[in-house]
A = this chain, B = another copy of it.
Amino acid sequence: MINIAVMGYGTVGSGVVEVINTNGARINQRIGDQLQIKYVLDLRDFPGDPIQEKIVHDFEVIVKDPEVQIVVEVMGGIEPAYTFVKRCLLAGKSVATSNKALVAKHGAELLSIAREQNINFLFEASVGGGIPIIRPLNSSMTADEIEEITGILNGTTNYMMTKMFYEGSDYDEVLKEAQDKGYAERNPEADVEGHDACRKIAILSSLISGQQVDFEDIYTEGITEITKEDMMYAKALGMTIKLLASSRRQGDYLHAMVAPYLLKKDHPLYNVNDVFNAIFVHGNVLGDAMFYGSGAGKLPTASAVVADVVDEAKHLHRNIMTMWKSDKLELLPSEDTKKQFFVRISGEPEALKAHLESCFGPIEVVQVEGLKQEFGFLTGVITERAYEENAKQFPGILHRIRVEG
C-alpha cells in the first residue's frame, strides 16, 4: 500500500482524485502495489463529497505522517506551496506538482533536495498540461543536443489567435468570448501578456541547458497588440500568427523569448488550433519532433500529475536524475538575436521602398485588399538591434511582428 496526500482540492486536485478513482485498477497494476489517497488538504470542507472524510485543514498532519510517501501539490502559486513542498521533500516524501510558478522559481533547489533525500520531485504537468514533454526531454531525447524548443504553451491565447485568424474577429471580441467560455480569467493578464508561457519556457530552457534560467530574464511580449488587420496580412502571406515561447541555441548561447510570431504553413505548429498546445523540438541528431495535446483542463492535467505519482511509486527510494543545477545561465541578450521581421507602415510602397531597403536590405512588400494608405513588408534576417535602430527612422511604422523559421 502506497499512501498519498493531495494538497489542494480545486480543479486539478479534484481531477487527480477522479483519475485515481477511474483508473485505479490499471494504475495499481502498473505500480505493482496499491495506491491510496489518505489525505486531501484544503481550507474548505466538502460536505456530501466522498472526499470529505479525507479532508484535512492542517498541513502538519500530512508532513508528520510517516505513512504518506508521495504528496501531490496542486494548490498553485509560490506560497505556501513552496514551504509545503520543501518540507515534504525534507521529510522524505516524493512530490508531484503541476505548479509552473513554483517549478520555474524553485525547481533547481527542490530537485537538489529530492536528490539528497533519494526521492523524487516531478512536474510533468507544469508544462503542456497533459502532453508528455518533461519526461521525454529527460529520458527519451538523451542522445541529442537540443538546439531548439518552441511551443504553443498557452491554450487561452491560442484559442484567441485561432478565432482571430479563422473568423476575422477583433481582439476584444475574442477575449470576451474566451472569458465567457471560461478559457480566460476575468483578469486575463497572465495569459495575454505571455507571463504563463514565459514560466513554462523558463522551465524547458532550464531542462535543456541543465542550468537555472530565470523567467525574469526572458523577453516577453503578449498578444494584446495583435489586430485583425495583422491577421489579414498573415493570410495574404500564407501564414498565421501564434504566441510562441521558444528557446534556441545560437553559437554557445541559449536565447529564449515569448512573442507573437508569423508562422509558415508548413511549420508543424501551424495547425495547432483552439485550446490545444504543442511543443516542437529540434535535436542535432533526432531532427524535428513535435508533441501535441491538451495543454490544460482538469483531467488532462491530472493525468500527467498521476503519471508522475506512478513514476514516484515505482522509484520510492531511488532518485530519477534530472539535470538542472542552480547556477544561473546567462541568456543571449535579445538585441543580439537574428530574425526576420514583418512590418506594417503607413504610406505607399513606391514612396518608401528605396529608403526602407537602404536601412533593412531587400524587402518583400505585401499589400492587403481593403487596407488603404498602409502596406506591409518582410525584412531579411537581421538582429533585433539592427531592426530597432533602423525602425527609428520610420515614424509611420504601425506594428512589427517577428517571423518564425
Taking Cβ atoms with an 8 Å cutoff, the residues of A that contact B are 15, 18-20, 22-23, 26-27, 29-30, 32, 124, 130-132, 135-136, 139-145, 210, 268, 270-271, 283-294, 297, 299-300, 302-307, 309-311, 314, 321, 323
Known A23-B143, A135-B139, A140-B304; 8 more pairs at CB < 8 Å:
A23-B145, A27-B143, A130-B289, A132-B141, A135-B136, A143-B305, A143-B309, A289-B292
- What are 19 sample pairs from A and B whose C-beta atoms fall under 8 A apart? A15-B285, A18-B285, A19-B143, A29-B210, A32-B321, A130-B286, A130-B289, A132-B136, A132-B289, A135-B139, A140-B304, A140-B307, A141-B307, A142-B311, A143-B304, A285-B300, A288-B293, A289-B291, A291-B291
Q: Which of B284, B285, B292, B300 contacts A268 (CB 8 A)?
A: B292
Give the chain B neighbours of A292 by CB distance below 8 A. Answer: 268, 289-292
Give the chain B neighbours of A32 by CB distance below 8 A. Answer: 321
Q: Are A293 and B285 neighbours in the complex by a CB distance under 8 Å?
A: no
Q: Are B290 and A302 neighbours in the complex by a CB distance under 8 Å?
A: no
Residue of B nearest to A20 (CB): B143
Q: Which of B131, B287, B290, B321 contacts A300 (CB 8 A)?
A: B287
Minimal beta-carbon separation of A306 from chain B (angstroms): 3
Minimal beta-carbon separation of A322 from chain B (angstroms): 10
Give the chain B neighbours of A302 by CB distance below 8 A. Answer: 143, 285
Q: Are A143 and B287 neighbours in the complex by a CB distance under 8 Å?
A: no
Assess A29 versus B303: contact at CB under 8 Å? Given A139-B311, A286-B130, A292-B289. Answer: no
Minimal beta-carbon separation of A122 from chain B (angstroms): 11
Give bound CA distance, A139 to B145, whole Å: 22
Give the chain B neighbours of A284 by CB distance below 8 A. Answer: 22-23
Assess A293 versus B290: contact at CB under 8 Å? Given A285-B22, A323-B30. Answer: yes
Q: Are A294 and B287 neighbours in the complex by a CB distance under 8 Å?
A: yes
User: Which of A20, A132, A285, A288 is most buried by chain B, counting CB atoms within 10 A of its CB?
Assistant: A285
Give bound CA distance, A287 to B15, whole Å: 13
Q: Which of B29, B135, B310 contacts A143 (CB 8 A)?
A: B310
Q: Are B130 and A303 neighbours in the complex by a CB distance under 8 Å?
A: no
User: Which of A132, A140, A297, A310 is most buried by chain B, counting CB atoms within 10 A of its CB?
Assistant: A140
Residue of B nearest to A131 (CB): B289
Q: Are A23 and B285 neighbours in the complex by a CB distance under 8 Å?
A: yes
Q: Are A135 and B140 neighbours in the complex by a CB distance under 8 Å?
A: yes
Minimal beta-carbon separation of A82 from chain B (angstroms): 25
Give bound CA distance, A259 to B340, whole Å: 42
Assess A293 versus B286: contact at CB under 8 Å? Given A32-B321, A139-B135, A140-B135. Answer: yes
Give bound CA distance, A308 to B143, whole Å: 9
Q: Are A299 and B314 neighbours in the complex by a CB distance under 8 Å?
A: no
Give the chain B neighbours of A18 by CB distance below 8 A. Answer: 285
Give the chain B neighbours of A143 by CB distance below 8 A. Answer: 19-20, 23, 27, 302-307, 309-310
Q: Are A132 and B140 neighbours in the complex by a CB distance under 8 Å?
A: yes
Q: Are A141 and B30 neighbours in the complex by a CB distance under 8 Å?
A: no
Q: Are A310 and B130 neighbours in the complex by a CB distance under 8 Å?
A: no
Q: Which of B15, B23, B142, B321 contacts A144 (CB 8 A)?
A: B23
Give bound CA distance, A132 to B136, whole Å: 7
Minimal beta-carbon separation of A132 from chain B (angstroms): 4
Q: Are B288 and A294 neighbours in the complex by a CB distance under 8 Å?
A: yes
Q: Are B293 and A289 neighbours in the complex by a CB distance under 8 Å?
A: yes
Give the chain B neighbours of A15 by CB distance below 8 A. Answer: 285
Give bound CA distance, A12 to B30, whole Å: 32
Q: Are B130 and A287 neighbours in the complex by a CB distance under 8 Å?
A: yes
